Structure 1
Amino acid sequence: MNRTTFLSMASATAMLAAGAVQAADVPDGVTLADNQTFSYRELDQFASIDPQLIEGVPGSHAARQLFEGLMNQDENGDLVPGVATGFEVNDDNTVYTFTLRDNARWSNGEPVTAGDFVYAWRRAADPATASSYAWFVELSGIVNAAEIIAGEMEPDALGVEAVDATTLRVTLTGPKPYFPLMTTHTTLFPTPQATIEEHDDNWLDPENIVSNGAYTLSEVSLNEFWSATKNPEYWDAENTVIEEVTSYVINDTSQALTRWEAGEFDLLEPVPAGTFPRLQEEYPDAAHSTPRLCSYYYTLNQGEGGPEALKDARVRRALGLAIDREIITDRILQGGQTPAFSFTPDATSGFSAPEIEYAGWTQAERDEEAKRLWDEVGYTDVNLDLLYNTDESHRQIATVISQMWSQKLGVETTLENQEWSTYLETRRAGGFDVARAAWCGDYNEASTFLDLLTTGVPQNSGKFSNEEYDNLIASATTAENPQEAYTAAEQVLAQEMPIIPIYHYANSFLLDPTLKGFPMNNVENNWYVKDFYRVAED
């Protein structure tokens, strides 16, 4: 949980200062550049920028510029006011009352009201919306969310109420002291009901979209770029310095680096695998590596359409043990990433990684146990398809791991590369044996990772289902010390190996030194262009 905010949240009332700095905080004496634009590279075209339909990093980065939720994050990941100036919470952390600012406006000039949040959250939970993030509403603990998602109750039964235009009351099924952190996620952003009802699936077209963030969408060129301009209706437009945002879709990481070096855009994250040490020497003012709340892993299909071999935990453990993670982090990536033996990263607030036995072994000991398990199972002819989305580092990692499996276990692997949208559809449909995956925390608490592998969650694409694991995660929601349940849950994952943790991320990136305000200490990597500004070059 957030180190600072939750000290006050433990009491009956927790109000954030409405006067906190919200947009670019330009120090006195700084000379701003004439050019106040920001541009960045994205690996893939976003599948959607509809807040209730977003399920990937590209869409999330875009939505944080176009929309604004109740709360935002500062450079350290701590909560600061967004549409809400603050909130009150009752004694047992089950009822939150948010006070909305009265000068929040949609880009068409209409006021942003508590009703807009009620509409959006009901929309996210409504089965008719078919949101792959509906489970996030249930995870948040809002009353009746589970029943609505299951089709047992109507969306208007959701435990969220517009007391008046600027007061939003949320009722939870149980204590959730980190609930305000969850409101920074795109799923809980407001959406404009009238615009959606008028334009249906076309409401996000630049000529139709109505948004409430610091920027408004101006152009989208599929698989090439999108751009946005400063929203004059945004409540803090006066202190928003950057006038225009552009995101370029560049699948080829080497080409992306070449174009950054040519000055075509400001931010390249991540840098190509293996290049960070050189880039740090060549561009010491631009190259950075910071901790990231993300895990890179392979998910193993244990569903009906998955290979029979992967339904055996011994096979899954053997595949996991045979991977030499240090080769991947130290020889391929070289950007500060660390080998992963637990799903939840060490960077997670309040989480301490459990002592997982095989994490302390040498790789030779892991290989020996992998071969023992393989011999015990008795498989002699296993062929696996390994799915990954387009990216050179994903290809390199898949190639190396397939070689490890072949040399150590005799497993033959066919690599299958798909572009982002197709890859997401394939994973959702269970059309894979092994799939490259990554998860970045939706909020800074261990449940954002561990809930992902509970039975029935859509993002649990490998269809792992374990009653002991589900009970542990359920117990953590009301436990005085959830760490005990999280530790036990990670031990279940280490034994059952439904996924293979490979590494915990570092955010190794290049940022134009004239661009200031980037949140270097935000492990969720949630950045808001409204906080940026460009200084004049010396």
Structure 2
Amino acid sequence: MTLKTSLLALSLATLPALPAYAAVVPEGTQLADIQQLVRGNGSEPASLDPHKVEGVPEANVLRDLFEALVNSGPNGEVVPGVAERWETDDNLVYLFHLRKNARWSNGDAVTAADFEYAFKRAVDPNTASPYSWYLEKATIVNATEVVNGDKPASELGVKALDEHTLQITLASPVPYFVSMLSHTSTYPVHRATVEKYGDEWTRVGNMVSNGAYQLKNWVVNERIELKRNPHYWNNNATVVEEVTFLPIASQNAEMNRFLSGELDMTYEIPLEHFKRLQASQPDAIRVGGYVGTYYYVFNTQKPPFDDARVRNALSYAIDRDIIAHKVMGQGEIPAYTLAPEVVDGFTPPALGWAGWSQQQRDEKARELIEAAGYGKNKPLRFELLYNTNDNHRKVAVAIASMWKKHLGVEVELVNQEWKTYLDTKTQGNFDVARAGWIADYNEASSMLDLMQSGHGNNDGKYSSPAFDKLMSASRLATDESARNDLYAQAEEILAVDMPIAPVYQYVKARLVQPTVGGYPDNPLDNLYSKDMYIKAK
């Protein structure tokens, strides 16, 4: 039984204190005099408030600034964070025992009351958290009622029993509950700071955080600089002194800055240079499995995308082999389901259309689009939204060409900067949009929950009572095999309704300087700068 499995098993009893992961420098390693890590981060973060974010660029920075009850280890396993141990007798009531030496960056003690305040803030409708659904999904008592405004946040099943003991009560057992608690929506926030500064609490000079680093400088659209937090409980094991995040949307610009030595690691790699870089920079290329799927989401509330025939036609006409192997070409796998093959314990169902040849899919797509009233003599016209990014544009151009060739569809490509794109998608002001989802924990529900009616990130507003019923049943299934069977049935419903068109299963490919030590191949890409170090050249 792996550490991860033992932590989440239903027979979970009192756990001893476990070692927290930190920078482990092999004996004999010569460290660089300057311990500064510069990371490409793709886009400018929409916010640095843990309870008001939903994207990867934000999570990358927040993971350094804040620390949850637990962290994600180098292999995606659960490791202690602020909680040094936890226990439960019935998988409903959990007690988390906090470290007595945990401190905020201003020196204040991190207490159970800080977590109680943060959890209740995350579900409070006044916070308008895009991830409030996450605590509902965890079945924390009264989470749904609080999110819906039927009960006050004070009724949430999270309670500080004393300064160092936090009690969380669930309405029903969730086998993977502890692994959910490394997510940004569960980060603590410093109540006095939030209440003093309001929406400006995340500004430089105002922010108080409890992670290995604290906010030093933030120049919007240019850089975010963090410096070591001397009050962090495990500061002695931290090696990197400063971390800089650069929001570089262009993969080519990011690559050039890496090659010139300005960056220690990139966010992504430009597709057209991948093979060349494999040959010229073999020690810098890092490619690993990634629990996530790239897909296109249809606005099911907007004609003609309220017609499953149109959605299926567009999905069938995407040649996923070309996208995964030719357009991307970094190890991506064609996707026919939302949950990828790399998800721990899950085997995607064998879907009929996934076994067809591309010619068969194209023929069926033409039949469906014509049945819906469209074709080359009456072309379907719509906008395809994606966030500004060279790789997203390449995928969009290729898929639009496939749709034009086989279905006569005329697509207008619309790109928007990250924050605007998120707002547009959330408000439903789109026809078809590029999307992607990276699991918050390594379990199929972290992907499939997305398609539930009323889910905060169900931007296409898909709704299926049959799908919802299966997902509700999965939360009560304590047997892993039975639970994964329910997930497979849910995928089969999505394959018929096609609210999204899965395109490919992600891999995480980036450039990392050989001088960076401690870089893990985390399947969730949860990277903590505190775990890394810079070697002398």
Does TM, normalized by the shorter one, top 0.5? yes
Give identity over the alignment, percent. Answer: 44
Deviation for aligned residue 1:408: 0.7
Q: Which amino acid aligns with 1:510?
A: L
How is 1:351-362 mapped onto 2 (pairs within 5 angstroms)?
Answer: 351-362=346-357
Q: Find the residue that maps to 1:175 and give its secondary structure.
A: coil
2 CA distance for matches of 1:459 and 1:13? 31
Provide the rounded CA distance (Å) in 2 between the counterparts of 1:133 and 1:9.
22
* Post-superposition offset of 1:250: 1.1
Equivalent in 453, 466, 469 of residue 468 of structure 1: 466
- Residues 114 and 167 of structure 1 are in contact (CA less than 8 Å); yes or no, is this contact kept in structure 2? yes
Indicate the residue corresponding to 2:337 in structure 1.
342
**Residue 190 of structure 1: SS of its match in structure 2?**
coil
Give yes or no for the alignment of 1:374 onto 2:369: yes
* Cα deviation digits, residues 14-35 of structure 1 (max 9, x gap): 4555351432111212111112
Amino acid at match of 2:118: A
Per the TM alignment, residue 329 of structure 1 is displaced from its structure 2 partner at its CA by: 1.2
Select the residue among 417, 438, 442 that pairs with 1:444: 442
Q: CA deviation at 1:419?
A: 0.4
**Aligned residue number for residue 501 of structure 2:** 500
User: Does structure 1 residue 316 correspond to structure 2 residue 316?
Assistant: no
Q: Deviations over 1:232-281 (max 9, x none)?
A: 00001111000000011111111111111001010013101132222111
Q: How far did 1:137 drift?
A: 1.0
**Which residue of structure 2 aligns with residue 98 of structure 1?**
96
The CA deviation at 1:376 is 2.2
State the AA in 2 paired with 1:519. P
Contact 1:269 1:507 in 2 (8 A): no
CA–CA distance in structure 2, aligned partners of residues 363 and 79 of structure 1: 41
Specify the alignment match of 2:358 in structure 1.
363
Task: State how far apart, in whole Å, the 1-side matches of 2:18 and 2:158 are.
Answer: 26
SS of alignment partner, residue 257 of structure 1: helix
- Is the contact made by 2:515 and 2:536 (CA closer than 8 Å) also made in structure 1? yes
Q: Deviations over 1:154-181 (max 9, x none)?
A: 0010001111111111110111121111
Alpha-carbon distance in structure 2 between the residues aligned to 1:174 and 1:452: 20
1:495-525 Cα distance to aligned partner (Å, 9 max, x none): 11000000010111110011011111x1100
CA separation in 1, counterparts of 2:158 and 2:11?
19
Paired position in structure 2 for 1:251: 249
Asked if structure 1 preserves the Cα contact closer than 8 Å seen for 2:13 and 2:89, the reply is: no
Closer/same/farther in 2, CA of residues 17 and 336 from structure 1, 3 Å limit: farther
- C-alpha offsets along residues 302-321 of structure 1, whole Å, 9 cap, x if unaligned? 12xx2x11111111001000
2:8·2:179 contact (CA, 8 Å) conserved in 1? no
Alpha carbons 1:72, 1:81 under 8 Å: kept: yes
Q: Give the equivalent residue in structure 1 for 2:132.
A: 134
- With 19-28 and 452-461 compared, the bigger mean Cα shift is at 19-28
* Range that drifts further, 10-19 or 217-226: 10-19
- 1:511 is matched with which residue? 512
Deviation at 1:53, TM superposition (A): 0.8
Counterpart of 1:129 in 2: which secondary structure? Answer: coil
Quote the Cα distance in structure 2 between the aligned partners of 1:15 and 1:31: 40
Provide the rounded CA distance (Å) in 2 between the counterparts of 1:449 and 1:22: 26
Local SS of the residue matching 2:272: coil
In structure 2, the CA distance between the partners of 1:16 and 1:535, relative to structure 1 (3 Å rule), is farther
Query: 2: distance between equivalents of 1:449 and 1:427?
Result: 18
SS of the aligned residue for 1:241 comes to coil
Given that 1:274 and 1:331 are in contact with CA atoms closer than 8 Å, whether structure 2 keeps it comes out as no
Q: Distance in 1 between matches of 2:95 and 2:444?
A: 25
Task: Show the counterpart of 1:215.
Answer: 213
Q: How many angstroms apart in 2 are the aligned matches of 1:456 and 1:3?
A: 35
Alpha carbons 1:9, 1:89 under 8 Å: kept:
no
1:485 aligns with 486
| 2:526 is the counterpart of 1:526 | yes
SS in 2 for 1:274: helix
| Contact 1:12–1:88 (CA under 8 A) maintained in structure 2 | no
The alpha-carbon distance between structure 1 residues 346 and 160, as it changes in their structure 2 partners (threshold 3 A), is: same
Q: Distance in 2 between matches of 1:350 and 1:413?
A: 38
Deviations 1:324-383 (A, max 9, x none): 011111111111111100000111111111111111111111111111212222223311
The partner residue of 2:324 within 329, 346, 353 is 329
The within-5 A match list for 1:9-88 is 9-10=8-9, 12-18=11-17, 20-88=19-87
The alignment status of 1:167 with 2:182, answered yes or no, reads no
Q: What is the CA distance between 1:400 and its match in structure 2?
A: 1.1
Deviation at 1:536, TM superposition (A): 1.6
Q: Following the alignment from structure 1 to structure 2, what is the Cα–Cα distance between the partners of residues 19 and 138?
A: 28
Question: Is the partner of 2:459 in helix, strand or coil?
Answer: coil
2-structure distance, mates of 1:217, 1:173 = 37
Distance 1:426 1:350, change over 3 A: same
Amino acid at match of 2:74: E
8 Å CA contact 2:7, 2:78 repeated in 1? no
Q: Which AA in structure 1 matches 2:68?
A: G
Tell me how far 1:87 sits from its aligned partner: 0.6
- Return the letter of the residue paired with 1:346: E
Secondary structure, aligned partner of 1:315: helix
Structure 2 equivalent of residue 197 of structure 1 = 195
- The verdict on how the C-alpha distance between 1:403 and 1:353 changes in structure 2, with shifts beyond 3 A counting, is same
RMSD between aligned alpha carbons? 1.2
Letter of the structure 2 residue corresponding to residue 372 of structure 1 = E
**Alpha carbons 1:318, 1:374 under 8 Å: kept:** yes
Cα distance in 2 for residues equivalent to 1:119 and 1:141: 18
CA contact (8 A) 1:341 1:501 kept: yes
Matches of 2:361 and 2:99, distance apart in 1: 56
Deviation at 1:124, TM superposition (A): 0.5
Q: Select which of 269, 281, 284 maps to 1:283.
A: 281
Matched AA of 1:38: L
Question: Letter of the aligned partner of 2:3 in structure 1?
Answer: T
Task: After TM superposition, give the deviation of residue 70 of structure 1 in Å.
Answer: 0.3
Match for 1:311: what amino acid?
A: D
Deviations 1:189-211 (A, max 9, x none): 10111100000011001110000
TM-score by length of 1: 0.97
Correspondences of 1:391-470 after superposition (within 5 Å): 391-470=389-468
- Runs ≥4 residues deviating over 6 A: none
